[in-house]
Structure 1
Amino acid sequence: MRRCRYRGQGKTHIQHVLTAIADNIERLSGLPQAWEAPPPRQPTAFQNYLDQRELPRPKSWRTLGT
């Protein structure tokens, strides 16, 4: 991006857009596929605390009340 192979604002803009598209395609190719399930997450320390004392775990802290 530092040096452009073309002169003129129009051609330079096209090169920048195509470079950005190529970077995005390369970045997206490294992402996990949609059909691959993410690995399960480990429970947090607070969730372990609740489980040890057999206390119910709310699905979300936002649902505790209003």
Structure 2
Amino acid sequence: MVKKPTTCTDNRRFNNPHKTVYAAGHRAALDGLPVHSCPHRHPAMRNSWLKGFTAAQQIELPFE
């Protein structure tokens, strides 16, 4: 019986498009683009873009 390696050797763990789409949404919000300018139609990609967009719009309150 052939045993599969426990670690991934083809760098699949680095292939996560959601991080890139999240960053694109974050950048769009900082650039002042409207929320309806989301270029993605796939629900999962749109959700990641919107998460990045809304994260950039959060107000940081300086509590001391």
**TM-score scaled by structure 2?**
0.33
Task: Please say which structure displays the higher CA radius of gyration.
Answer: 1
User: Whose RCO is larger (CA < 8 A, sep 6+)?
Assistant: 2
**TM-score scaled by structure 1?**
0.32
More helix by share: 2
